Structure 1
Amino acid sequence: MDFEVKPIYKRAEKAKALEKHEREVLRSIKKAHAKTAEQIQYQHHAAKQLAQECEFRHRESVQHGDEFLRDFLRCHFEQYLDHIRIISGQTLEEVKMIGNEKDQKLGVRQCRRLFNAPVLSDQIGYLLWCELRQGKALDHSHERQTEVMTERGGISMEDARVGHANELRHGQNEYSSSANYRRTKTWAGTRHSIVFSRPEGEAPVSASAPVSPISSIPETEPPKEISQKMDMKKRKPAGACLQPEADLPGPPDRAIGTSRGQGCRQYHSRKIRQEPSQLNLRVHIPVRDGFSTTSKRSRIPVPAKTWPFLAMKFLPSLQLLAAAAAPVSAAFTWQNVKIGGGGGFVPGIVFHPTAKGVAYARTDIGGLYRLNADDDSWTAVTDGITDDANWHNWGVDALALDPQDENAVYAAVGMYTNDWDPNNGSIIKSTDKGATWSTTALPFKVGGNMPGRGTGERLAVDPANSEILYFGARSGNGLWKSTDAGATFAKVSSFTAVGTYIADPTDVGGYNGDIQGLTFVTFDSTSGTTDGATSRIFVGTASNDTSSVYVSEDAGATWAAVADQPGTFFPHKAVLQPAEKALYLTYSDGTGPYDGTLGAVYRYDISNSTWTNITPVSGSDLYFGFGGIGVDMLVPGTIVVASLNSWWPDAQIFRSTDSGATWSKIWEWSSYPDMNLYYSESTPKAPWITTGFLDTDTKDLGWMIECLVIDPLDSDHWLYGTGLTMFGGHDLTNWDTIHNITIQSLADGIEEFAVLDLASPPGGSELLAAVGDDSGFTFASASFLRTSPNTPWMNPIFTSTTSVDYAGASVQNVIRIGNSAGTQQVAVSADGGATWNAYSGADTTMASGTVAYSADADTVLWSTGTSGVQRSQYQATFSAVASLPSGAVVASDKQNNTVFYAGSGSSFYVSTDTGATFATAGSLGSATAIRDIVSNPLSSAQIFVSTDVGVFHSTDYGASFTLTSTTLTNTYQIALGLGSGSTWNLYAFGIGAAGARLYGSADNGASWTDIQGDAQGFGSISGAILEGSGNTAGQVWEQRWEYLVDYAGDVDDDVAGDICVFDRCPDDHCLANHCADDRCADDNNVG
C-alpha cells in the first residue's frame, strides 16, 4: 500500500486512525475462534509465506535503494519468524516447516492481504490470533504484558509504525528478540500522519498523542448528562465499548471503553457460579453492513484468561474510535495501475513562459496532465469532469496558459465532431492549476480524437490581456473570441476562413468526413497593443493553398492572408521567437497525425514580412512531413524540429543554432544499413518501451511527433510527444558540444493506454491487461501494480490485444487474441502470462473479438470479429460453431471443463459438450440485450449475466435466472472479485441510485452501492472495462473509456470500507451477527 509521511497539525483527525484497522483485528479474532486446529497450522504457514515475501521485497528494496522500505520489510521478516517461534514454542526451522501444500495458495493470499495493511496494529493483531486460539496469552508475565501493551497499544498506531521504522534506522529492532521485549519506548520528534488508500471523503488518518493504558482510566460513572441520554435497557453507548457478558477474573466488574470520550457506563454483569472458560465479548463499534455505515454490536468469544490482555491491547484504540463514528462515503480511493510510459498519443505540450516548472500536456483520449517538475512526473487534472454524461471530455483538442497568471489553464474538450459523438464541446478553465474547473459550453462539437488533432494550439490567451481568448473551431465554425476570460465566447464575424479541408469527402458522418477547420492561434507579443489587446495575431487553417495563414494587425478587428506565404502544404505549428521577431512554422502534405510524406519548415520574418524556406533536407532525403517544433527562448536562433511520420527507419530530429540556415541530425546513415546514433535512450520508469517493444522495430525515436517544445526557462529541458509516449531530456545543449544527448521516457504518471480487456486469475497472476497499440502486460502480484512492467506481451507481439482469459482449474494457462489478420492472432501461456507461444491451430484470416478458455485449458471458444464464433481443441484447427450467432458474448464455466455459456440479444445459451453445440437455456425476463457473462472463479454453475434490464444470477448452469435487484438497471460490464473470507464481491457498471456509474455488491447483487463517487470520472459506462481481483480482497480494476487502468481497494479486506463479513458457515448458519439480516453463504454459494 502506497503511503506518504508528513507532519500533522490537527488533533481532530486522530480518531480516524484506528477505525478500520482495529475492527479488522476484532473480526479476525472472531474468525480465528471459529477455525479448526488444522486451520491454526495454516495461520503459521501464512506467517511463513509473509516472511518469505517480505524477504523478497527486502531484496527488491535493496536493489532500488529505498531505505525506509528496506527497514520496514526487514522488520516484518524478523518479527514474524521470531514471534511465531516464541508463540508456538518451536524452533525456527520447525516454524519454517509448518504448513502444507494444500494451504499454500490461501497462505500466499492471506499474507499479501496482511502485508498490505498500512499500520503495525494489524500484524500485531495477527500474532494475537494465534495467542488467543492457543490460550497462551497469559504465558507472558504480568509485567511483560503491561510493557508490551503500553508500547503496542498505549500509543497511536500511526506513531507506532513511524516510530518503529525510525527505531530500525538506528539498529534497534525491539521485536527481533525477546531480550529486548521489555524495553519501554517513546517516540520523539515530529508527529506524522500516514496517508493511505481510504474511503473517499474520509480525512487523512492521524493520531497526535499517546493514549494512556487501561490502568490510568478513572473508574467513575459517566457524567450525568451522558447517562441520561441512554436507555439502559434499549440503547447502546454512543461510543466504543468492550463489555464482558460475565464476571471476569482480574479487571473490575465494569465495562471498559468510552462513551463520547467520557468513559463507559457500568453494566450490571450477570453473576456466575464458577469462572468461565470462555466469554462472549461484546464490542460496540461502528461497523458497515454491506456498503452502508451503521452501528451494530458484535460478539466475540474469547478465552477468559486472555481478557485482561485483550482489554489492554484494544482499549486505547477504542477510546480513539469513539470519535470516529461519523459515516464515511462508500466510494473507493482510486489509483493508477502503473504501466508507465504514457501508452498513447500526446499531441500538445505547453510551458508557461515565465513560471518555471509549470507545464501541461494534452492527450487525445486521456485528458489533461500537469507537470511535476521536481521528478518529471505528471498528474491527471481532468479526471473529475469525465463521468458517463461527459465522457467526451477525455478528448483535449487544444490547450492554453495565461502568460500573466501561472495558475490559470484553459482547454478545449470534446471527443468527435462526426456522428460518433452527439455532444457539443466545451472550453474548460481552471484558476488553481487544474484542481477545480469551470465549463463554458460551445454551440458546436470539438474533436480531441479527430484527424488533425496534433496541429495547434487552436486556443490561446492574449499575453497583454487575460480577459481575451481566441479559439479556432472545426467543422466550418470559424474563429471564436472571449472577452471575459472564457466565461462566454462569440464568433469573430470578420474572420471568414474556416479551413475547408476534408480528408475523405466520401466518408460522410465518418472519421475522415468532417471539415478540419483552424489549426493554430498565435499572438505576437512584440506587436504592441490596440485598445488594451495584442495587436498582431496569426491564425492557421487546414488549407493547402497560399491563403492558409492569416494575420490581424488591429487586435482581431480585421484579417488578411499573410502575403507571399507558401502553398501546397498544410500548416501544423507556429511558434513565435520574440527576440528574433520571427514566426517558425511546420508544414505537411497531410493534417496528421498518421500521414505525412512531404513537408517543409519556414521562418517568417515579421519585421520585413519575408518568408524563408529553412527545411532541413531536400530531394530524396525528404520523404516525410514536419510537425513538432521548439525554439529556445534563451538562445535566439536555436530551433529543434521533428519529422512527422518517418515510418522507416526511424523518426528524424533536426537542430539548428543559426535560425535554420544549417542543421544537424540526431542520427544519420554510416554505411547502410548501419546508423550513427547521436543519442542514447534511458527508460527506467518504463522499461518495457526499450525492452521488448521498440527493440522489435527501428522506430526508437517514435512516430506521430506533432509536438516538440523546449522549456522557455531551461535550454537543456525539452519534451516531445509521440504515438507511444512522451520523450525528452535534460541535456539538450550537449547536442551542440559533444553531439550526443540522452533521450528519456518522461511520461511517468500519464496512463493513456487503450485497455481492451482485463483478467485476474485466483491463485495466478494478479492482473492481465490487454491493451490497444501496445500488446498487453502481466502483473504477477499485487506488489507490482505500482511498478512499470519490464516487457510487454511478446512472442508473438500483437498490435492490439482485444481479449484475454484464463483456465479456471489451471490458472497458469492464459490465452489472448490479437487484432491484425495476416498472422496468427491467438497466443497461449503456461506460466501465467510471463511467456507466450502462438496457438498453432489459429487461422491467419481470423482476428479480434473475445475468447473463452475452458477450465482445463484444452478448449478455446472464440467469438471472432471476422468469422463468427469458432472453436478449437488441443490446438487443432478452428471450426465454426453453427449453433451460435455471430458476435455472441462467450464465457466458460471456471470449474466445469465441459460447460460454456453464450448470449446474444435476449437468448442465453449453454453448452455441455465443451462448446461443440449450444442450446438455449433459462429466460432472462424482459431483457433484450445480453452484454456480459461472468462465472464464479471457484464454483461451477454460478453465473451472473448483465443485460439492459439489470444483472441476473443463476446457480444451476443457467437453467434458471433471478434478477438480482431492480435498483440497478441497464448494466454493462460486470465482474466478480475476492471479498471477505471465501466470499466474492460483485461489481457492475449500470444505472443506479447515484446515476450511471460503477457499483458494488456484497450480497450477490441484492443491494448495490456507488463505489465510484462524485470526484472520479470513468467516462461512458457502456465502454468501460471491469475486473475484480481474484487474489486481493476488496480490490477492483476499471478501465476508463479507452484510457487507463485504475484500481481501488480499502485498507481492510473488504470493499468500500467494511463489506458485510461472511465467514465459512457450516450448515448454512451464520456466526455472530455478520449482517443486518443475518444472511450468510456457505462454501457452495458466491456469498
Structure 2
Amino acid sequence: MKKQTLALACAVAGLVAACGGSSSPSSQSPSFAAMIGSASGGADVAATGARWQSVKYGGSGYVTGLIFHPTSPDVLYARTDMGGVYRRDTATSGWTPITDGFGVREEFYNGAESVALDPTDDKRVYLVTGMYDWSGQNARLYISTNRGDSWTHVDLPFRAGSNDPGRAIGERLMVDPNQPSVLYYGSRTSGLWKSADYGQTWSQVTSLTSFQYPGDQIGSLPGRTSGGIESVLFDTSTTGAGTATQTIYTAVAPDYAAAAGLNANLYKSTDGGATWTGVSTPVTGYYIPHMVRAKDGIIYVAFTKDMGPGAGGPARLYKFDGTNWTLLKSYDTEQWVNFGMGGLSVSGSGPTTRIALGVSNSWGNWQGQPVVQVSDDAGLTWREIASMTPHTPSDVDFSGWVDDVEIDPNNPDHILHVFGGGIWETKTASAATPTWNLDVTNLEETATISLATPPKGASYALLRSSGDIGTHVQTEVLKKPTRGPIGYFSNGHAADTAWSNPAYIAAVGTGGWVQNNPRGAYSTDSGVTWTPFASKHPDAASNDHQGGEETIAVTAPGKAVWAPSGARPAYTTDNGATWTYTNLPDLSAVGIGRGYRVVADRKNPNKVYAFNSGGAWWNQWADTSHFWYSNDGGHTFTESTTFVSAGARVAAFYQSSIAVNPNAEGDIWVVDGFSILHSTDSGATWTRLDVTAPDWGTNETWSYPQVYGATSIALGKAPAGATYSSSIYIVGIINNVWGVYRSDDGARTWRRINDDKHQYAGISNLAADQAVPGRVYAAGAGRGVFFTY
C-alpha cells in the first residue's frame, strides 16, 4: 500500500461465498437486496450459515506487479504488498482474490514479493511470499496447479520482503520456458537461488555469489533490506524445448553488489547458470527495476537511482542487443523535478516495437507530465498516454508510484499500470487521447485499524478507519464511500457516534502526508461535512509516528473521551474546544504501542468504560490488565477490583477488544487475547467464560501463543426468537478451531460462521450491525472489510 508500515497487517462485483454464493451481485435474485438490507433495516432472519462479501471501497492499496501469461489470453495476476494476490476475472471485468484461504498463521505471507507463471501450463502459478526481510522469518513458495483455486506451499531457505522498499522490482521469480521444472529466484539478501523440481527444493547459485547478509545485519540496512538480485531474464524465444535455457541474465542491485563484492549490476550466463560473466552497463550504481525482452531478442533495461516505491531519478532507459547499448530516454535530476523509471513492457519486435514506460515519482496531473510514456518505433520517439487524458473516476490520483506497466501480450492497445491505489487500465492506447478506467473491481486492499457501527435508524451503515486512506462513513455496503473527514488524516484510527443522535460522529487519526493534520474532527450531519476539533488532546501530537492504538468514545453530541496512543485519556464537553485529563493513570512504555480502549454505555451515556490490556505479553511480570468504569461521562474513573481476579490476562492492544451490549445498561464484554470476560453490573464484577483457548504451538506458556484465543468481540442485532438481546461475535479459537463465531444465546453456545476458504490471513476487527440481524463486519489482514449476509 501507499503507506507507513502497519503491523495490522487495502470493488466488489463478485460474491465471496463461504456457503455457495453466486459470482456477482447482478446475478442474485431480487431477494439479495432485501437479504443484505439497507443502512436502516433488514429482514429479521436467522441464517443457518453465513456468506461473506466485501464491503466496497475499491483499490486503495499498492499493487506491486501485474503478470500476464505469455500465450494464454486474459490470464493475468495482480500481486499486492500486504493484501493478497488476485486473478483477473474476464467475465466480470474485475478481480478474484485467490489467497483468501490463507489462515491466521499465514498473515506474514499475505503479500507476494513475486509471482511467476509456467509458460507451458497456464494453470500453474507460483507466489513467493514473506512480508518483511528484516523480520527473521524465511519466505514461502505457494504453488497452485489450478490458477490459485487451491495451494500447497514450500518453506524457502531465504527471506522475502513484499512490503519492504523496492517491492515492485522484478520479477524476481521466473520459470524456465524451455524446462519449466527449473525456477530461479533473486533474493534480496541471500543471492540467486535455483530449483530443478518445480520449486520443491532450492539451492543457492554459488557460481554467481555465495554471499548472504547475516540475519542480525539485515535490520540495520537502509530501509532494513537490500535490493539484492533484482530479476531473472531467460534470453530465448522458444518454449517447451525440454532442455534448460542456456542464456540467462540477472540484475544485481548496487547495494547488494557492493556487499557481495560483485563488480557489475548485470550478469550473463551462457551455460544454464553454471558460470556468470559481468556485463558492462552504460551506468553503474543504479537499480534495475525491470528488464524485458522483445520477440527479436532486443533487451530493454530501465535504470533508476532509487529503489522505490515511486523511485526517484536520475533515470535511463536503454536497449541492449547483447553487445551494444543504445540510450532511448533519460530523466536527469533538476532543481524542480526528480523523475525515475519504474514499469517497463514491450510488444512486437523490430523498428515497430511498442514500449510502455512507467515514470515514477511524477505527481499530479499537469500538461507535459510524464506518467506512462509510449513509443511505437522502438524508442525513437515518445508520447504521453496517461496524464491530461480522460480518467474514470476523475477524482482518483493515477501518478506517483507507476512502478509496473504491462502491455497485454494479446492486445497491444490494452495497457495497465499500477499506482499507490490500485490499477489503471486503457484499451485505447493507440488513440490520440486514450481513455483510462480504474481497474479495481473486487480488488480490496486496505489496512483496517478499527470499525464501528451506529444504532438502528442511522443514515449510514459503518464507520471504517484505515491506514493511508483515513476514516470513511459507509452509507451503503456495496458502494464506495464518499463521506468522511477526507483530507484530514492519512491514517484513520477510530470513530464513534452519539447513540442518542447518530448524526453526530467524532473521528481521530494521524496526518502522515496530510498537512496541518487536526488529529480529530466531528460531524453533525452523518459525515457529510466535518469540523476539526478546535484544540487537540494535550498528548495528541500531530506527527507521523503517533500509533494507531487510539480510541474515542462519544457520550453525547459535543461530548467525548479521547485516548491517544500511549496517553492518558482526556474528555471534552464542548466539541473539542477544551480537553481535560481524566483521572486514569499514565501508561508506561513497554516497547510497543499501547493505549486505552474507551467505550460509552449505549443505554446510559454517563457511564464510560476504559480497558487497558497491559500493553505487551512481557509486561505480565510488571503489571496486569485493568478495567475502569465511570459514572460521570468519563471524567473520573474507578478501577474494578475483580477484573484480574476473574482471570483477565495481559496482551497487546490489537489482541484485545471491548464491546457493550447496546440493549442493556452495564452489560460489558471483553476479550483479553485468551478468554471472554463478561460483566452485567457496569464492570464492578466479572465472570470469565471457559469457551476459548489459545494455541501455544511450540511456544512456552510463559510467553505468548502462536494464535491467541480471543482477539475481537462485537455485539449486534439479534434474530427473532433469540434468547439474548444481542448476537455476540468473536474472533478466536473454540474447540481448537480458529474462526469467526456467533452466539445468539448470551455465549452459551457458539457456531463458526466462516470456513477455511474465507480466513483472509487472519481477522483483526469486528463490528456488528444494529439493524440487520446476523450481519457482522470483519477486517481481513490487508484485505479490506467483509460482511455476512
Fold-level match, TM-score > 0.5? yes
Q: Alignment partner of 2:224: what SS?
A: coil
Give the TM-score of the pair, scaled to structure 2: 0.83
Cα 1:727/1:901, change in 2 over 3 Å: same
Structure 1's unaligned 5+ residue stretches are: 6-15, 18-64, 77-106, 118-197, 200-329, 668-676, 684-689, 695-699, 1050-1087
Shift of residue 442, structure 1, vs aligned partner: 0.7
Q: Quick check: 1:429 aligned with 2:139?
A: no
> What's the counterpart of residue 288 of structure 2?
571
Counterpart of 2:402 in structure 1 is: 705
Inter-CA distance 563–500: structure 2 relative to 1 (3 Å threshold): farther
Is 1:632 aligned to 2:562, yes or no?
no
User: Structure 1 residue 528: deviation in Å?
Assistant: 9.5
SS in 1 for 2:254: coil
Superposed CA offset, 1:222-268 (max 9, x none): xxxxxxxxxxxxxxxxxxxxxxxxxxxxxxxxxxxxxxxxxxxxxxx
2:719 corresponds in structure 1 to 980
The C-alpha deviation readout for 1:470-506, integer Å capped at 9, x for no partner, is 111122x21111112222222222121769799xx99
Aligned partners of 1:803 and 1:816 also within 8 Å: yes
Match of 2:479 among 781, 784, 787: 787
1:910-989 to 2 correspondences below 5 Å:
910-924=629-643, 925-929=646-650, 931-968=656-693, 970-981=709-720, 983-989=725-731
Would you say the 8 A contact 2:41–2:771 is kept in 1?
no
Which of 443, 454, 458 aligns to 1:750? It is 443
1:873 maps onto 2:573 in alignment: yes
CA contact (8 A) 2:340 2:361 kept: yes
Give yes or no for the alignment of 1:991 onto 2:683: no
Which residue pairs with 1:557 in the alignment?
274
Is 1:382 aligned to 2:113, yes or no? no
User: 2:5 is matched with which residue?
Assistant: none
Question: Structure 2 CA distance, aligned partners of 1:761 and 1:435?
Answer: 37
Q: Which position in structure 2 is the counterpart of 1:825?
A: 519
- What residue number does 1:524 align with? 235
| Aligned CA distance change for structure 1 residues 639 and 562 (closer, same or farther; 3 Å) | same
The corresponding residue for 1:682 is 392
**Secondary structure class of the residue paired with 2:716:** strand
Please tell me whether the aligned partners of residues 530 and 555 of structure 1 are also in contact (alpha carbons under 8 angstroms): no
Q: Could you say which structure has the higher strand fraction?
A: 2
1:487 matched to 2:229? The reply is: no
* 1:112 equivalent in alignment to 2:42: yes
Written as runs of structure 1 = structure 2, the 5 A alignment for 1:187-336 is: 332-336=50-54
Residue 380 of structure 1, CA deviation: 0.5
Amino acid aligned to 1:425: A
Compute the displacement of 1:612 (Å).
Answer: 1.8
SS class of match (2:413):
coil
Distance 1:339 1:1029 in 2: 18
Instruction: Check conservation: 2:488, 2:517, Cα contact below 8 A.
Output: no
Structure 1 counterpart of 2:354, which letter? T
Q: What is the CA distance between 1:651 and its match in structure 2?
A: 5.8
Q: Distance in 1 between matches of 2:374 and 2:214?
A: 31
One-letter identity of the residue aligned with 1:610: N
Matches within 5 A, 1:612-691: 612-618=326-332, 620=334, 623-633=338-348, 636-647=352-363, 652-666=371-385, 678-683=388-393, 690-691=394-395
What is the CA-CA distance between 1:655 and the residue it aligns to?
1.4
| Structural mapping, 1:706-785, within 5 Å | 706-734=403-431, 738=432, 740-763=433-456, 764=458, 765-780=460-475, 784-785=476-477
- Measured in 2, the distance between the counterparts of 1:354 and 1:965 equals 56
| TM-fit CA distance, 1:463 | 0.9
Separation in structure 1 between the aligned mates of residue 349 and residue 383 of structure 2, nearest angstrom? 20
Q: Give how far 1:1020 is off.
A: 3.9
CA distance in 2, matches of 1:591, 1:708: 17
Residue type of the partner of 2:191? G
In the TM superposition, residue 383 of structure 1 has moved relative to its aligned partner by 1.2
**Is the alpha carbon distance of 1:511 and 1:831 closer, same or farther for their aligned partners in structure 2, counting shifts above 3 Å?**
farther
Distance 1:648 1:343, change over 3 A: closer
Structure 1 contact 761–811 (Cα < 8 Å) conserved:
yes
Query: Per the alignment, in what secondary structure is the counterpart of residue 733 of structure 1?
Result: coil
Secondary structure (helix, strand or coil) at the match of 1:558 reads coil
**Which residue does 2:177 correspond to in 1?**
463
**Alpha-carbon shift at residue 654 of structure 1 (Å):** 1.3
Alignment match of 1:604 (pick from 320, 323, 329)? 320
Partner residue in 2 for 1:806: 497
Specify whether residues 1029 and 651 from structure 1 end up closer, same or farther in structure 2 by C-alpha distance, changes over 3 A only.
farther
- Which range moved further: 449-458 or 976-985? 976-985
Determine which structure has more spread, i.e. the larger CA radius of gyration: 1
Distance in 1 separating the partners of 2:61 and 2:39? 34
Distance 1:499 1:360, change over 3 A: farther
Distance in 1 between the 2:195 and 2:477 partners? 44
Contact 1:810 1:855 in 2 (8 A): no
Please name the residue that 1:587 is paired with.
Answer: 303
CA drift of 1:956 comes to: 0.7
Question: Which residue pairs with 1:1036 in the alignment?
Answer: 776
Aligned residue type for 2:295: P
Change (3 A) 1:792 1:1035: same
Deviations 1:784-803 (A, max 9, x none): 322233x2524553212111
Letter in 1 for 2:172: R
Q: Aligned-pair distance for 1:987? A: 1.3
- Output one character per residue of 1:271-313: Cα deviation in whole Å (capped at 9) or x when no partner: xxxxxxxxxxxxxxxxxxxxxxxxxxxxxxxxxxxxxxxxxxx
Residues 504-550 of structure 1, C-alpha deviations (whole Å, 9 max, x = no match): x9983688223332111111123899981111111112216761111
CA contact (8 A) 1:412 1:446 kept: yes
Cα deviation digits, residues 637-669 of structure 1 (max 9, x gap): 2111111222466662211122222222347xx
Asked if the contact 1:446–1:474 (Cα under 8 Å) also holds between the matched residues in 2, the reply is: yes
Aligned partner of 2:761 among 998, 1014, 1019: 1019
* d(CA) in 2 for partners of 1:334, 1:651: 41
Two-structure CA RMSD over aligned residues (Å): 3.2
1:443 Cα deviation from its structure 2 partner: 2.1
Contact 1:1029 1:1036 in 2 (8 A): yes
Aligned-partner Cα distance in 2 for 1:817–1:74: 35
Alpha-carbon separation, structure 2, partners of 1:452 and 1:618 = 20
1:964-1011 alpha-carbon deviations (Å, 9 max, x no partner): 234445321211121213731111122321433322222222333332
Aligned-partner SS, 1:615: strand
SS at match of 1:926: coil
The residue aligned with 1:217 is: none
Task: Pick the structure with more helix per residue.
Answer: 1
Equivalent position amino acid for 1:393 in 2: Y
The alignment partner of 1:390 has SS state of helix
Asked if residue 343 in structure 1 is aligned to residue 60 in structure 2, the reply is yes
TM-score using structure 1 length: 0.61
Relative contact order higher in (CA < 8 Å, ≥ 6 apart): 2
- After superposition, the Cα gap between the structure-2 partners of 1:594 and 1:995, relative to the gap in structure 1 and judged at 3 Å, is farther
In the other structure, the counterpart of 2:620 is: none
Asked if the contact 1:756/1:1042 (under 8 Å) is kept, the reply is no
In structure 2, how many angstroms separate the alpha carbons of the residues matched to 1:722 and 1:568? 25
Contact 1:387 1:997 in 2 (8 A): no
Separation in 2 of the partners of 1:708 and 1:4? Answer: 25
Alignment gaps of 5+ in structure 2: 1-11, 258-262, 588-594, 615-624, 695-708
- How many angstroms apart in 1 are the aligned matches of 2:282 and 2:141? 31
Contact 2:266 2:278 in 1 (8 A): yes
Aligned residue-pair number = 705
Distance in 2 between the 1:964 and 1:511 partners?
47
* TM-aligned CA distance change 1:968 to 1:473, over 3 Å: same
Query: What is the deviation of 1:814?
Result: 1.3
State which drifts further: 771-780 or 707-716: 771-780
Change (3 A) 1:829 1:722: same
Q: Counterparts of 1:794 and 1:651 in 2: how far apart (Å)?
A: 31
Distance in 1, Cα, partners of 2:684 & 2:78:
52
